[in-house]
Structure 1
Amino acid sequence: MARPTHRKTVGAQRCALVGAVLAVLLLTGCATPAAAPPPTPRPAEPPPAATTSVASGPNATDTAWVQLMIPMTEQVLALLDLTPDHGADQELRELATRARTDHQATLDQLRQLRDRAGLPTTNVHAGHRMPGMLTTDDLAVLQQTRGEDFDRRFVAALRAHLDQAITLAQGEQRSGADQDTQRLAATVTEASTDQRARLDQLTGS
């Protein structure tokens, strides 16, 4: 029997690590922290000597978030690109146009973070069915759909993407270490929440 190659072993280990960190992202994004007990009074102490703070680099949560958000954002951009020609509802088309601008800016920053961290440009989630991420099969169906049927599918796909983007970004804000990555996650949370509210307003959800 042929032995597995080193490349396959490394790939499997990387996927396992990313999967474990994604579980942390999802849990921390949804969990509500328990109330902390009241602090025990302590005697006054002299202030510590001033020290020079050193910014920490990206941790596993930062890396996993960037590597997942890049393909998620690329796929939703493909959906948003279809909307002007395939959708029937003018207000949904306008929402898609505004959302596309935000998502493109996010993608540009995600790629900068990826390159700065020296991460591979390949999609480590290729072939995986991830919550909130459109697949090539999903997009193929949408390309063949127009009018009200497209609008219905568009709303469902965009809502799923935004919900997952918010959950993951909140997890990054809680568990990440890199300040630039956390700032982008905060921006994603705000923009996705606004887009989700607008989508609900248009659809009466």
Structure 2
Amino acid sequence: MRNTRTLTRRAVLVAASVTAALALAACGNDSGNSGSGHAGGHSSASSSASADATAGAPNAQDVSFAQGMIPHHQQALEMAELAADRASSAEVKDLASRIEKAQDPEIKTMSGWLTSWGEDVPTSSDSTAESMPGMDHSDGSAMPGMMDGSDMDELEKASGTDFDTMFLTMMIEHHEGAVDMATTEKTKGKYGPATSLADDIITAQTAEISEMNKLLGKS
């Protein structure tokens, strides 16, 4: 009789141990899944926060860069559009086309930034130096590389090889101004996408300056 009770008690203890072990295992799995899910959510949130921190809040220089570079690009587009039916060189026409394809999307990007920041977005009517007195810089000068109204009128009246020479000469000066502006943004800007765009502008337009100098017969 005693042996029977002992066996029964052992069987109950074993069953209880198995049940407890299973419960602990299940709890561990749930905890693991929950922890994994929480870790994943935390990681995602951290990534998002990290991206925001990397972008940085825009400062006055970022706003100035976008508000200055938009009309600067718009004037470059006006110049490039003239090349389609005035340039005689296929190389000049190709360069003008590439300038349009590169700078038009950049205008849209910078306009989007300014809108999201609650800042004024320059219009195409602002694309001459005369319409933007003291627009940018700490020394009070006009934006570097911008053509005035008479420069644009002269370019518009030119054609053939005269246009090619005038376009390349003016666009080199225009690009050099954009590189100066972008360099200032890289140094003083805080908004990551803006400083990244500035770096792209420096790289692309420096290469185009070299290309245009070669087309003018300069090394």
What letter matches 1:70 in structure 2?
Answer: I
Whether the aligned pair in 1 keeps the contact of 2:68 and 2:143 (CA below 8 Å) is no
| Amino acid aligned to 2:98 | R
Whether the 8 Å CA contact 2:165–2:216 is kept in 1: the answer is no
Alignment RMSD (CA, Å)? 2.1
Render the CA deviation track for 1:69-113: whole Å, top value 9, x for unaligned: 011100110000000211111211111111211111221211112
* Pairing of 1:36-185 with structure 2 (within 5 A): 55=53, 56-122=56-122, 126-128=131-133, 129-185=142-198
Gaps of 5+ in 2: 1-48, 134-141
Question: Structure 1, residues 23-59: CA drift from partner, whole Å, max 9, x if none?
Answer: xxxxxxxxxxxxxxxxxxxxxxxxxxxxx76623111
The number of equivalent residue pairs is 155
CA–CA separation in structure 2 for the residues paired with 1:122 and 1:95: 25
1:186 to 194, 199, 204: 199
Q: In percent, how many aligned pairs have the same letter?
A: 27
| Greater RCO (Cα-Cα under 8 Å, separation 6 or more) | 1
Distance 2:122 2:216 in 1: 36
Q: Deviations over 1:129-180 (max 9, x none)?
A: 5321123332222221111221121011100111111111111111100111
Return the alpha-carbon distance in structure 2 between the equivalents of residues 74 and 85 of structure 1.
Answer: 19
State the partner residue of 1:41. Answer: none
TM-score, normalised on structure 2? 0.65
Cα displacement (A) at 1:204: 2.1
- TM-score for both structures, normalised by structure 1: 0.69
Larger radius of gyration: 2
Contact kept, 8 Å, 1:76 with 1:134, in 2: the verdict is no
